Amino acid sequence: MKYISTRGAGPVSASEAVLRGLAPDGGLYVPESLPALNSGELEFLKSCSYGDAARLILKKYLEDFSEAEIDDCVSKAYESERFASKDVFELRELEGGLCALELYHGPTAAFKDMALQLTPRLLTKAAAHCGERDRIAVLVATSGDTGKAALEGFCELAGTSVCAVYPAGGVSELQRRQMITQRGSNTRVIALEGNFDDAQNAVKHFFSSESARAALARRGAKPSSANSINWGRLLPQIVYYSLASVRLAIGGAVDFAVPTGNFGNILAAYYAKRMGAPVGRLLCACNRNDVLADFINTGVYDRRREFFRTLSPSMDILVSSNLERLLFELSGHDAAFVSSRMDELSKMGHYSIGETLLKKMRELFSSASCGDGETLETIERLWREQNYLCDTHTAAAFFAARGFESEKLVVVSTASPYKFPVAVLSALEDTAPADDWDALRRLETLTGIEAPKSLRELESLPVLHTERCAPGDLVSVLSETL
């Protein structure tokens, strides 16, 4: 199987796509064609382990990886004590035909672990396949959870270094503490002045800068990405949608409500559907930064709007990079169409896809947005009515689900509620401590639910990363030191 860019470059091998992250023309790599799950494989998914499901899916996409290599990557990622759940994820049946797909039982208490425990291992093997002898310098822009998950996944991994760039003031205090206390001789964290879109744009600019790549090459390093722009990050996410839909489907497809920012998580569900997994409609849940909701409803993507910092910071995004892959698929792999729309977005801040593609998209996707008040109300209602505690991002998906008609709807739960203890506690009590650690302890007492150990320990860990810079300085800073 070969991979091509959404803007026309390629084809390249799976290893090249994973190693490069971003295509040389600025596009994102996608498979030339999508593999299918046959009836026997769908039956197998009903009772296999998570690791075996990952092996099945990965083999279909990584044809230049041997079975032994895939097995090694999967075993080290999922078949260890890294995940608190023996099944890696948890399916929680709730009342009213709802189910919660909990993806936050990994080492950093967020769904990014589902991919980023595997991606670093895929990347190092891809480098070996491509004869790459230089150190792989991984650069990741983060709206909160990706940064810590990448730092954890690449920490002390031979032949790699990893740098997480996050928006200063744009992540929760626990998310920030997770990153700035990260140990590891090959890890680095930078607070960028601005929002996530500023961080993402700065990182993309770095990848497209010939002078930056040349500077790294002189230091024996080659840049790569662990964001979901990298196919090696997106691919592992197809596994849990395939597995969950097969296990929950009884006579029909399973719909999913997904809290969405950069569009990678919900896009993985789309790919699982395209493979033949019983995935039905996809509900894109947004917060006050509702650019995706407007796009799905109108076919016009317009980032020329006010940016809001909300209680669900990982969704505070105005430019959703993975949407480019969806446009490529819906347009029949029309690279010229995608390139022109991305050019319009870059130069004018908006684009339109027309009625034909809008109709195709709306046959697959619905969308709804949620304000901070509605987020808190949803957290309180779920706890009061169902004794179910969720975080601020998952609450947006539960809120969107209220008006969505479905026989079987799965709400994707993307982070532990203890990553946002002040906000979650304020939904349950009239007054909540402003300090995250006081709020965490109070939330444990109030609910009887213990916070993940990795989060409870953060308070006493030393701060190891204090670097900060402006968006315009990131390329020069990283060129000299990454």
Give the tens place of pLDDT for each residue, 427-452. 999 888 889 999 999 999 999 999 99
| Amino acid residing at 352 | S
Confidence of residue 89 (pLDDT cuts 50, 70, 90): very high
Which residue(s) pair with 255 in the sheet? 409
Residue 215 is predicted with a pLDDT of 86
Mean pLDDT (the chain) is 94
Evaluate if residue 35 carries a pLDDT over 80.
Answer: yes
Residue 203 is predicted with a pLDDT of 84
For residues 258-283, average pLDDT: 97
> Residues 93, 99: contact at Cβ < 8 Å?
yes
Catalytically annotated residue among 59, 112, 148, 360: 112
Evaluate if residue 221 carries a pLDDT over 80.
Answer: yes
Residue 218 is predicted with a pLDDT of 87
DSSP alpha helix (H) spans, 402-472: 421-428, 436-447, 453-456
For residues 224-234, average pLDDT: 90
> Residues 257, 140: contact at Cβ < 8 Å?
no
Q: Which carries the bigger pLDDT value, residue 482 or residue 164?
A: 164
The candidate with the shortest Cα–Cα distance to 186, out of 283, 246, 109, 120, is: 120
Evaluate if residue 204 carries a pLDDT over 90.
Answer: no
Residue 480 is predicted with a pLDDT of 74
What tens digit of pLDDT does each residue of 357-374 get? 999 999 999 999 999 999
DSSP per residue over 122-178, as a string? HHHHHHHHTT--SEEEEEEE-SSHHHHHHHHHHTT-TTEEEEEEEETTSS-HHHHHH
| CA 125 – CA 293 distance, rounded (Å) | 38
Which pair of structure tokens corresponds to residue 342? 């991305």
Evaluate if residue 171 carries a pLDDT over 80.
Answer: yes
| CA 144 – CA 419 distance, rounded (Å) | 10
Confidence of residue 209 (pLDDT cuts 50, 70, 90): confident
DSSP per residue over 192-233, as a string? ESS-HHHHHHHHHHHHH-HHHHHHHHHTTEEEEE-STTSHHH
115-119, 141-145, 159-163, 307-311 — which is least confidently predicted? Answer: 141-145
Which residue(s) pair with 409 in the sheet? 98, 255
Confidence of residue 251 (pLDDT cuts 50, 70, 90): confident
Evaluate if residue 80 carries a pLDDT over 80.
Answer: no
Which residue(s) pair with 366 in the sheet? 283
Residue 79 is predicted with a pLDDT of 85
Residue 481's H or E segment, with its range, is helix 474-481
Quote the percentage of the chain above a pLDDT of 70: 100
Q: What is the pTM of this model?
A: 0.95
Residue 48 is predicted with a pLDDT of 97
b/e burial code for range 348-375 (CB count within 10 A of at least 16 → b): eebbebeeebbebbeebbbbbbbbbebb
For residues 180-207, average pLDDT: 90
For residues 168-178, average pLDDT: 92
> Residues 244, 91: contact at Cβ < 8 Å?
yes
| CA 44 – CA 41 distance, rounded (Å) | 5
Evaluate if residue 481 carries a pLDDT over 80.
Answer: no
Residue 206 is predicted with a pLDDT of 85
Residue 210 is predicted with a pLDDT of 84
| Amino acid residing at 181 | T
Residue 477 is predicted with a pLDDT of 85
Confidence of residue 169 (pLDDT cuts 50, 70, 90): confident
For residues 139-150, average pLDDT: 90
DSSP 314: G
Bridge-based pairing state of the strands 300-302 and 350-352: antiparallel
Which pair of structure tokens corresponds to residue 147? 């940064």
Q: Reply yes or no on whether 112 is catalytic.
A: yes
For residues 253-267, average pLDDT: 96
What tens digit of pLDDT does each residue of 328-349 get? 999 999 999 999 999 999 999 9
The CA-atom distances, in angstroms, between 44 and each of 247, 249, 255 are 10, 14, 21
DSSP 22: B
Residue 167 is predicted with a pLDDT of 92
